[in-house]
A and B are shown apart, each in its own frame.
Chain A
Amino acid sequence: MANSIAVPSPAAVHTARTAAVAEPVPWYAWTVAAAATCAIVGLHWDISWHMTIGRDTFWTPAHLCIQACAVIGCLSCAYLILNTTFHGDIANKRGSVRVLGFYAPLGAFIAAWGGVAMLTSAPFDDWWHNAYGLDVKILSPPHVLLLIGILAVEGGGLLLVMGKMNSSSAELRRKLDAIFLYLGGVILIQMMILVYEYSDRVLQHSAIFYRAVGLAAPVVLVAIAAASGRRWAATTVATVYMFFWAAMLWILPLFPAEPKLGPVYRQITHMVPMAFPVLLIAPAFVLDLLRGSKIAQSKWKFAIVASVLFLAALIVAQWPFANLLTSAHANNWFLGGQYHPASEPTSASDVRAIFVHYERSVGQFWSGIGIALIGTLFSTSIGLACGNWMRRVQR
């Protein structure tokens, strides 16, 4: 029997052929997804850390989690760039773009750029603290550089996945699309962190809230939906945002913590999370419905109608929901109305759950809503342009 040749069964032949044809999800899709996840977990954790413990160093777990985004994103994309440039075959280079003499997919360069921006923000932020004080506000130049860097890592990851999607078989495209939508959700989470100071529950009856959300959210929802082409893409992205945000709201208070920074206005025994997420699922659902209609065939018509409907759906969903969030019924683990930072005095509007009228008159409110509409239109148009461009990305 030593000289006989084994004949494979038909089933085995089929399996082997399938394995040869089925292309795996490229490794960099997983690394950019991991980097993006590190960023949003780290950001949530860090903000919660500041609201609870208050005092930090560069080496807190939350900071390390954020920097892990830069390290993972930068290293994996640097490897991709160097490997393609110096060890890649002709086919690899022919499927790449060229930047400063290096070859790699476009997304790799953007993600690497984001990693460098994040690393640059670290010494800048350290100096800023020494010069102007420790973390006085979220929106400072070094913090914005950091957030832009994270966005670039996430956006680069998005393009890496998109480029592969546009040249893949249907099965691989389906798998990559799931990662693509997840990355879209991550970017939406970050955009909502960016405008968190303006999305407090007590501001949700003011135009400033709708201006902030109208500027931050549609660009992501529309871009991802346009690029993905999946029927319920925007709704999926909004679901990722809401589920992640709510999960952090539910998980963080499980961990014991005490304030290490004065003044302390209330005794705290557990981590304080960020507030309940904005109900973006409602306007996202409306966007998806609109994408399936005839209006979607005209870019400008779609942008205008989508902006109006987005804002209307947001107001219809969030305005009454804000009433619930500011009521005693919100003081539970699910809605988290009872969580307040240790440094927030009892006189603060958020603690007292009293709506702040950011605009001083009805006229100012409505002009604010008008500005919100313009902002939403701008955001939607940019998102539409980005989404349509991403659909064409091949490299």
Chain B
Amino acid sequence: MKKTCLIALLFSASLASAHIGTNNVYFDGYAGPYHLLVIVQPPVVIPGVADIQIRVLTPGVSELRIVPMRIVGQGSDMAPVPDMAQKSSDDPQLYTGRLWIMLRGSWKVRIDASGTQGPAQLSVPIAAVSQFPLPMRRYLGALLTVLGLLLVVGLISIIGASVREASLKPGAVAENKTRRKARIAMASATVVVIAILWLSNSWWNAEAASNRQSVYRTPPVTVKLEGHQLQLHLENPNGANWAEPLRLNDLVPDHGHLMHLFLVRMPQMDAFEHLHPQQIELGNFVQQAPALPEGHYKIFGDVVHSTGFPETYVGNLDLPSITSAVSGDADDSGRQSAQPAGESSDLGDNDRMIWEKPSELKANQLLSLRFRVVDKNGAPVTDLEPYMGMAGHAVIISTDGNVFAHVHPSGSVPMVSVELAQTGHLPPTDTAAMADMPGMTHSAPMAPEVSFPWGFPRVGTYRIFVQVKRAGHVDTGVFEADVR
């Protein structure tokens, strides 16, 4: 059973929309005065059941109700009857529930909290996509095979008996002619049953093929270097038959940018860039190439649709050494010759970023990835400022490149999706107004530490790039995590 669950979790983490290798949602937010930490494990296939876990971090909450709703479009204004989240008997802070998600696309889990400080709401966006289905378990296959054989043998025998004896008067014995007819009927029935089984199998295959058509596929981005310019072309193979088709003409800015592009040199993972290309036409972006060492790069491009549906485009690129870089967007940042640290990453000038690393990192477990920035004397720094409206950005990539996540202190969902889920409206695009969005950090002074709620989806080695802004300059701490 344990093995089965592990297999299920591994399969559930095989594909994702916003991130790669995991589609679990981690969200740290407030329902009015109540601080909640929410984990949503979306279903593997749609329609399917999502698992919800909510940890209440503020005392006084008496009950939580949860309900799934579409973020935009028809039906987004009417909710089904909310479910009562069940309080754990072992852990009074933990509430759980299961919700049915019926359509592919952009959804939210609305949490209605009640408590000593009155009622309040929080909405957590989720991207609902179908993944490749689970294979049938061996014991179930064996059980169905045995029952199927029993049905086939039973059916053929019944047909034989019906021809041989059903019309005989009680006590009469079937003549040889009738017995021969019965044998012919059984032989014919065998042929017909085989034909029916073959047709049924074809039907099953057709259903499976149809299902494969609706499986979410990681969209590709093709990149080429022209002079000092990276030229990106997006293609989306998904969503043709969705209630909310995925198009390239409805991308909206998140943290002020239509795309957050990440380049990582593989397999060393020693060069990392966080860039913000400009869209020049539908599906085509350009970016001034930063200075980069020669090598093979894995590319991840985060975008968000106007429905709040996030996607990560994935590509590969071989680059020559680029030395004379042209400056790009002011928010572009990166780090080269980055050697990973276990717990303390050098930021230059003897300043360091310290990871308050748990003693053991386990897969599929909610973690608070907490980092402190200290000066050469080990004292907390005082010059942290928001980087694109957030206290920090973390990019987590498995060393095989099959897991990618772009996480903020509020969790793994884009802020524009959060705003859309909360208010039903897209946020303003100018930076000043954006700073008023919930979850965006804009007050100074900022604490010299930043934490990210997340869970590693599988066992393996990961590289964590943590970015904070200090006095107008972005520092990137690099860490390595061995997850068991």
Contact = CB atoms under 8 A, between A and B. Distances in A.
B62 interface: no
A135 B48 CA distance: 9
Interface stretch (A117-125, A216-224, A228-236, A310-318): A117-125
A182 interface: no
Interface string B167-200: 1111100000000000000000000000000001
B61 interface: no
Contacts of B167: 389, 392-395
Interface string B453-480: 0000000000000000000000000000
A116 B150 contact: yes
B78 A100 contact: no
B144 A124 contact: yes
Interface stretch (B155-163, B279-287, B363-371, B378-386): B155-163
Interface string A244-266: 00000000000000111111111
Given A260-B80, A262-B68, A130 B133 contact: yes
A253 to B, nearest CB: 18
Contact of B147 (A120, A163, A258, A263): A120
A161 interface: no
A267 B77 CA distance: 11
B49 A99 contact: no
Given A98-B161, A134-B49, A393-B166, A54 B100 contact: yes
B326 interface: no
Contacts of A264: 75, 78-80
A158 B211 CA distance: 38
Given A99-B161, A141-B200, A259 B81 contact: yes
Contacts of A263: 69-70, 73-76, 78, 102-103
Interface string B132-168: 0110100010011001101101110110111011111
A393 B168 CA distance: 8
B166 A266 contact: no
A345 B103 CA distance: 13
A140 B207 contact: yes
Nearest to A56: B100
Interface stretch (A105-113, A291-299, A329-337): A105-113
Given A132-B133, A133-B47, A345-B74, A259 B80 contact: yes
A69 to B, nearest CB: 17
B113 interface: no
Nearest to B68: A262
Tier of interface size on chain A: 35 or more
A140 B207 CA distance: 8
B80 A395 contact: no
A91 interface: yes
Nearest to A394: B169
Residue of A54, A97, A136, A163 with highest tally of chain B CB at under 10 A: A97
A338 to B, nearest CB: 18
Contacts of B154: 99-100, 109, 113, 116
B146 to A, nearest CB: 9
B204 interface: yes
Contacts of B46: 133
A132 B207 contact: yes
B45 interface: yes
B45 to A, nearest CB: 5
Contacts, number: 151
A145 to B, nearest CB: 9
Interface in A67-90: none
A131 interface: yes
Nearest to B162: A106
Which of B69, B81, B164, B171 has the most C-beta atoms of chain A within 10 angstroms of its own C-beta? B81
A262 B50 CA distance: 13
A174 interface: no
B130 interface: yes
Contacts of A159: 166
Contacts of B79: 262, 264
B6 interface: no
Interface string A157-170: 00100010001000
A337 B217 CA distance: 41
Given A106-B161, A130-B44, A394 B166 contact: yes
Given A97-B161, A120-B148, A132 B45 contact: yes
A343 interface: yes
A243 interface: no
B83 interface: yes
B78 A265 contact: yes
A135 B45 CA distance: 12
B203 to A, nearest CB: 6
Nearest to B161: A97
Contact of B158 (A54, A95, A113, A135): A113
A123 B165 CA distance: 34
Contacts of A140: 207
A367 interface: no
Given A98-B165, A99-B157, A116 B147 contact: yes
Nearest to A101: B157
Given A98-B165, A262-B102, A263-B75, A123 B150 contact: no
Nearest to B168: A394
A267 B147 CA distance: 43
B157 A100 contact: yes
Interface in A328-373: 342-343, 345-347
A140 B150 CA distance: 21
Contact of A394 (B80, B83, B151, B170): B170
A184 B122 CA distance: 55
Most A Cβ at <10 Å: residue of B44, B80, B204? B80
A91 B170 contact: yes
Contacts of A135: 47
A106 B158 CA distance: 7
Contacts of A131: 45, 133-134, 136, 211
B190 to A, nearest CB: 15
B144 A262 contact: no
B390 interface: no
Contacts of B78: 263-267
Contact of B144 (A120, A265, A342, A394): A120
A18 B22 CA distance: 78
Nearest to B102: A261
A301 interface: no
B319 interface: no
A389 B76 CA distance: 57
A55 interface: yes
B151 A99 contact: no
A168 to B, nearest CB: 13
Contact of A94 (B75, B76, B83, B170): B170
A127 interface: yes
A55 B47 CA distance: 11
B70 A262 contact: yes
A91 B169 CA distance: 12
Nearest to A113: B154
Nearest to B76: A263
A91 B160 CA distance: 22
B57 interface: no
Contacts of B143: 123
B98 to A, nearest CB: 10
Given A110-B158, A395-B170, A132 B211 contact: yes
12 contacts: A95-B171, A96-B165, A97-B162, A99-B154, A100-B153, A123-B140, A159-B166, A261-B80, A262-B67, A262-B100, A345-B75, A394-B168
Interface of B: 44-49, 67-70, 73-76, 78-81, 83, 100, 102-103, 107, 130, 133-134, 136, 140, 143-144, 147-148, 150-151, 153-155, 157-158, 160-162, 164-171, 200, 203-204, 207-208, 211
Given A113-B154, A113-B155, A261-B102, 13 more contacts: A99-B154, A106-B162, A106-B165, A106-B166, A116-B154, A120-B148, A131-B45, A131-B136, A260-B83, A262-B69, A263-B103, A346-B74, A395-B170
